[in-house]
Amino acid sequence: MLTADSVVKIYDRWGRFYDIVFKWIFSEGRNVGVELLDLKAGERLLEVGVGTGLSLPLYRRDSPIVGIDISSKMLEKAREKVDNLGLRNVDLQVMDAQAMTFPDDSFDCVTACYVVSAAPDPHKVVSEICRVCKPGGRIVFINHFKSQNRLLARFEELINGICRKFGWETTLDLETLIAAHKLVIGVQERVNIFDYWRAVLCYNSRK
């Protein structure tokens, strides 16, 4: 079972070589996610699970961006990118996505790249995302979600225990997640190798 402490330990270890392994593998998803988000000038964006900051150079620089991550080691790499690229519009904070300290309605839009299935409680993360995102605001998830193919879904269940050791779940169901939090899907696209991941644009229906 994933816990906050185990996630921190796993991703602190990943921080040293995350870019080497995942920069290319997940690049299509990051690019598609930024396109779907369609960030406007002056909009305040939160990136949940910003990690080593691979998405940060893709955003426009005339919008304030806040990136949070539970792993301080991952954020060290992100801060290096921010400093090297002169991204003065970016603020990075160590924070648990399951219990954010931001007030309600703090952001115009939110992205969560490869993070929801890495959390001990994905529903807490999505609930917090909906809380801090303004009503009607845009939310983009980039994630692997449980396959709708019965045989592949069964295989994902079998390997889930192994995948947890690397820091993520394979059995998170998109439709259940969306319905539980009353999100409205705008667009979804399959991305990355074998189209195994999905980039999903949602609208926050919370009033």
Q: Which of 68, 67, 201, 55 is nearest to 140 (CA)?
A: 201
Q: What are the residue boundaries of the structural domains of the chain, listed by start? A: 4-204
What is the number of other CB atoms lying within 10 angstroms of the CB of residue 124?
15
Which residues have CB under 8 Å from 167's CB, separation 6+?
2, 7, 10, 11, 14, 118
What is the number of other CB atoms lying within 10 angstroms of the CB of residue 165?
10
Distance of alpha carbon 37 from alpha carbon 54, whole angstroms: 16
Beta strands in the chain (DSSP E): 45-48, 65-69, 90-94, 107-113, 133-143, 183-191, 197-204
Q: What is the pLDDT of residue 163?
A: 46
Q: Which of 158, 149, 138, 187 is nearest to 37 (CA)?
A: 138
The pairing of beta strand 133-143 with beta strand 107-113: parallel
Tell me the HSE value of 137 on the side-chain side, using a 13 A CA sphere.
24
Query: Domain 4-204 belongs to what architecture?
Result: 3-Layer(aba) Sandwich (3.40)
Could you tell me if 4 and 70 are in contact, meaning their C-beta atoms sit under 8 angstroms apart?
Answer: yes
Tell me the HSE value of 135 on the side-chain side, using a 13 A CA sphere.
3
Mean pLDDT per 10-residue section of the chain, whose length is 207 residues: 65 66 83 96 97 95 97 93 97 96 98 87 94 97 74 52 51 84 95 82 88
What is the number of other CB atoms lying within 10 angstroms of the CB of residue 32?
21
